């Protein structure tokens, strides 16, 4: 139904609108309507097996119009009642006005009814709408139901943050503009990555449409929000609407169906990727047929919706091979495709101010509403609202919650199974040349078989098609290739599978028993996640040491060996020598942070490539590995190679050193007080270099011995000012940067001479 001004619509427009409502009430097939009677047109006549309903519609508010149309209704009903086919049917005439009938109009119609003995009633179009479906009753019950993956009712959102949507052209459209477009009858496909807020957005649209419906006296279309995951096994639009009414506890499903047929509601369909096919007898190769069959009832609902009725359908775009298949499978034509972007800094600040005032958002947290919600819940479950834990514990929590939520829609898939499948996908993806993919259907099926030992069944196919955390590698190409939407999620998933291998390095069934076919070492997050997982499962450095020894004896000096060496360096009991000594050959490191672990002096990097190496935590050559014929792009933390490092790096090329002002030694030459100098070195190590957290000992390293006692007080002050916050990993205290202070930290590091801590 178009977005119009009902106060100014013409008589024919009003008559057309009223006739659609009457037809939805009495003639869903659309075979009846206006008729000619005794040479004059009657607006509507509907006869069923037990009743007859006649209609006259008017925008006029005069008594004369009521007398004229009331008489026409009574005349028509009397004539119809005289026919043999209708003699014993109930007969009602409806004089329908755009505005509430005046007292004179009601009296005139009542007098006609009394005089003729026919039942003629004066009502407004609003009352006719309520006869069709009690929208207020539906909305009251819908408000108390769940809204997709948002998981809460319409009135219980943790935060109400204004949301914009993005067109393929990158142009933004506001929530208000999208609301108007739906009321104007437009069709929209809404996509977004896991956790971006698709369900949250549809819930906000529902709330806006609900408010407008009541504000306009129930004359605008009311919102019907359907969780498509509830539609498994259904075949027709009517079945979908009946199931929805049952789910929310609305006792008039026929009225809901009539409202849809009359075009007096807006459809908000959440989760096209959550419709599980009930039957699939073929193989998994022809996924397009699986999706086409699974979405048949949704496609029918869209195609059979009256013209001019707004529809929006939301889901994960990577469920399909591309935008073209998505539109075809859902029955969309002449539609608009929008994307839900991540939060920007303004939206993040607004979200936090509403959901958890005073919460310090760690610098590593992704800007997605669902992940922020998980973070806040996890923080409340820990030591207070200001403790978000470490980056590793946060991402493990995200991953656990993501898999638990995904498992809710399946009957036979456990969260830990989903987690294991995603982790195996992340591991296998690395063999394709990149940590994030590409990931095709064969790789997905292989990962499923690795974990379950069998081919995927119907639910297994559905799980693989909508596996959380993935997106289309190229939505325009139409192929089945996927990639991880977030590199941090890919690192987390891989690290958990790596940790499983560490615990059982001789497991014949684990693919890491073989040499790695990829050259890229894991990023810092992957190392932190593996360490966090191993510590939480009471695994000591000896377990990692055993995996390193097993790999060394098998002559595997690959990327997995590089990851294991970095993992053991993070353990407090990591200084026990490893025999035989580890060798890492031909591995590429995007960033590598050296530590003060003594065992590192026995490690050899042979012909490896490093984009960046952070030397800031190494005070002497006694903890420095050997580098043979390596290439280092950037050496952070040092302005030149110290003489005592030459023996360890003599055959290695370093292309660029850090500017003197960006090293600890250079910062100590700036003409500011000692506390501010220390604070600047802390800002550089936390905000200026890779990684998200630093131990207190690492923040002291490189400082003169006389300055180190000042570090705890400086850190306390920086926490108090909101630059940092403390997080715990096992028995270790870490310092993490605040997201809201990142820009300011960059400004300070660009002009360190102007900075004062106090």
d(Cα 210, Cα 37) in Å, to the nearest integer? 41
Predicted confidence at residue 159, as pLDDT, reads: 57
Predicted confidence at residue 73, as pLDDT, reads: 92
Strand partners, 470: 484
Q: Is 693 helix (H, G, I), strand (E, B) or coil?
A: strand
Instruction: State how beta strands 311-315 and 187-191 pair.
Output: parallel
Closest CA to 47 of 18, 22, 17: 22
Predicted confidence at residue 242, as pLDDT, reads: 92
d(Cα 520, Cα 429) in Å, to the nearest integer? 12
Query: Which tokens go with 62?
Result: 């005069």
Determine the Cα angle at 579 with ends 577 and 580, to 5°: 140
The predicted-structure confidence for 158-216, as pLDDT tens digits, reads as follows: 556 667 788 887 888 888 899 999 988 899 999 877 767 788 888 889 999 999 888 87
How far apart, in Å, are the Cα atoms of 261 and each of 25, 26, 52, 194?
A: 9, 11, 20, 33
Determine whether 24 is exposed, middle or buried from the number of CB atoms within 10 Å of its CB (0-12, 13-18, 19+).
Answer: buried
> Other CB atoms closer than 10 Å to residue 731's CB: what's the count?
7
Query: Which tokens go with 161?
Result: 């943050």
Q: For the chain, which ranges sit under pLDDT 50? A: 1-3, 152-157, 279-285, 381-387
d(Cα 468, Cα 471) in Å, to the nearest integer? 9
Predicted confidence at residue 382, as pLDDT, reads: 43
> Other CB atoms closer than 10 Å to residue 289's CB: what's the count?
12
CATH of domain 135-339: 3.40.50
The predicted-structure confidence for 93-139, as pLDDT tens digits, reads as follows: 999 998 889 999 999 999 999 999 999 999 888 888 878 888 889 99
Determine whether 440 is exposed, middle or buried from the number of CB atoms within 10 Å of its CB (0-12, 13-18, 19+).
Answer: middle
DSSP designation for 645? G
d(Cα 692, Cα 524) in Å, to the nearest integer? 9
What average pLDDT is seen over the chain? 81
Q: Is 561 helix (H, G, I), strand (E, B) or coil?
A: helix
d(Cα 13, Cα 34) in Å, to the nearest integer? 14
Domain 11-132 -> CATH class: alpha beta
Predicted confidence at residue 636, as pLDDT, reads: 81
Query: Can you give the residue ranges of every domain in the chain?
Result: 11-132, 135-339, 415-499+509-662, 673-754
Predicted confidence at residue 554, as pLDDT, reads: 87
Domain 673-754 -> CATH class: mainly alpha
Q: Is 251 helix (H, G, I), strand (E, B) or coil?
A: coil
Start-to-end Cα distance in the chain:
62
d(Cα 75, Cα 71) in Å, to the nearest integer? 6
């Amino acid at each position: 139904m178009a977005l119009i001004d009902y106060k100014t619509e013409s008589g024919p427009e009003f008559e057309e609108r009223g006739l659609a409502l009457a037809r939805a009430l009495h003639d869903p097939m659309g075979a009846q309507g206006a008729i000619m009677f005794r040479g004059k047109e009657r607006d509507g006549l509907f006869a069923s097996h037990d009743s007859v309903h006649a209609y006259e519609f008017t925008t006029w508010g005069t008594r004369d119009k009521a007398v004229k149309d009331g008489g026409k209704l009574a005349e028509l009903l009397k004539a119809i009642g005289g026919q043999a086919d209708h003699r014993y049917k109930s007969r009602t005439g409806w004089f329908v006005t755009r505005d509430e009938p005046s007292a004179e109009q009601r009296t005139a119609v009542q007098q006609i009814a009394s005089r003729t003995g026919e039942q003629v009633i004066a009502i407004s179009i609003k009352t006719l709408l309520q006869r069709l479906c009690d929208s207020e009753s539906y909305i009251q019950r819908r408000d108390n139901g769940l809204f997709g993956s948002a998981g809460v009712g319409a009135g219980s959102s943790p935060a109400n943050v204004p949301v914009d949507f993005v067109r393929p052209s990158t142009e933004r459209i506001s929530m208000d503009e999208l609301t108007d477009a739906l009321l104007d009858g437009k069709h929209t496909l809404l996509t977004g990555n896991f956790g971006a807020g698709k369900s949250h957005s549809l819930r906000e649209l529902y709330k806006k449409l609900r408010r407008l419906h009541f504000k306009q006296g129930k004359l605008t279309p009311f919102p019907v929000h359907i969780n498509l995951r509830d539609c498994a096994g259904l075949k027709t639009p009517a079945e979908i609407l009946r199931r929805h009414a049952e789910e929310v506890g609305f006792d008039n499903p026929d009225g809901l169906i009539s409202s849809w047929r009359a075009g007096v509601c807006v459809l908000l369909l959440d989760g096209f990727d959550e419709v599980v096919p009930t039957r699939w007898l073929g193989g998994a190769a022809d996924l397009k047929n699986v999706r086409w069959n699974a979405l048949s009832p949704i496609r029918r609902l869209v195609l059979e919706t009256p013209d001019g009725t707004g529809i929006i359908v939301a889901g994960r775009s990577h469920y399909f091979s591309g935008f073209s298949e998505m539109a075809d499978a859902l029955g969309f034509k002449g539609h608009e495709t929008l994307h839900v972007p991540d939060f920007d800094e303004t939206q993040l600040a607004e979200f936090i101010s509403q959901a958890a005032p005073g919460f310090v958002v760690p610098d590593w947290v992704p800007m997605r509403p669902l992940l922020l919600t998980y973070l806040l819940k996890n923080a409340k479950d820990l030591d207070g609202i200001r403790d978000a834990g470490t980056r590793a514990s946060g991402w493990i929590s995200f991953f656990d919650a993501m898999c638990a939520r995904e498992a809710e829609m399946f009957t036979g898939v456990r969260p830990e199974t989903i987690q294991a499948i995603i982790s195996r996908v992340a591991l296998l993806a690395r063999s394709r040349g990149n940590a994030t993919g590409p990931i095709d259907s064969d790789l997905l099926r292989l990962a499923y078989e690795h974990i379950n030992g069998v081919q995927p069944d119907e639910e297994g196919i559905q799980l693989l098609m909508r596996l959380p955390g993935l997106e289309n590698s190229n939505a325009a190409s139409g192929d089945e290739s996927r990639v991880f939407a977030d590199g941090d999620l890919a690192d987390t998933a891989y690290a958990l599978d790596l940790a499983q291998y560490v615990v059982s390095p001789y497991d014949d069934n684990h693919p890491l028993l073989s040499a790695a076919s990829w050259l890229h070492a894991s990023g810092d997050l992957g190392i932190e996640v593996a360490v966090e997982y191993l510590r939480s499962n009471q695994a000591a450095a000896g377990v990692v040491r055993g995996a390193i020894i097993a790999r060394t004896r098998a002559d595997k000096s690959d990327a997995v060996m590089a990851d294991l060496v970095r993992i053991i360096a993070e353990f407090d009991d990591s200084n026990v020598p490893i025999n035989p000594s580890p060798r890492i050959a031909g591995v590429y490191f995007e960033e590598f942070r050296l530590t003060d672990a003594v065992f590192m002096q026995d490690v050899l990097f042979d012909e490896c490539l490093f984009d960046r190496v952070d030397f800031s935590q190494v005070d002497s050559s006694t903890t420095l590995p050997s580098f043979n014929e390596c290439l280092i792009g950037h050496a952070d933390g040092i302005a030149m190679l110290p003489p005592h490092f030459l023996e360890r790096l003599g055959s290695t090329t370093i292309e660029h050193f850090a500017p003197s002002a960006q090293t600890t030694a250079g910062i100590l030459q700036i003409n500011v007080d000692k506390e501010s100098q220390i604070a600047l070195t802390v800002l550089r190590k936390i905000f200026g270099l890779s990684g998200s957290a630093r131990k207190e000992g690492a923040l002291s390293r490189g400082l003169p011995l006389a300055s180190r006692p000042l570090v705890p007080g400086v850190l306390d002050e920086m926490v108090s000012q909101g630059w940092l916050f403390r997080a715990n990993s096992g028995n270790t205290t870490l310092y993490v940067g605040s997201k809201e202070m990142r820009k300011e930290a960059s400004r300070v590091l660009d002009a360190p001479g102007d900075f004062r801590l106090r």
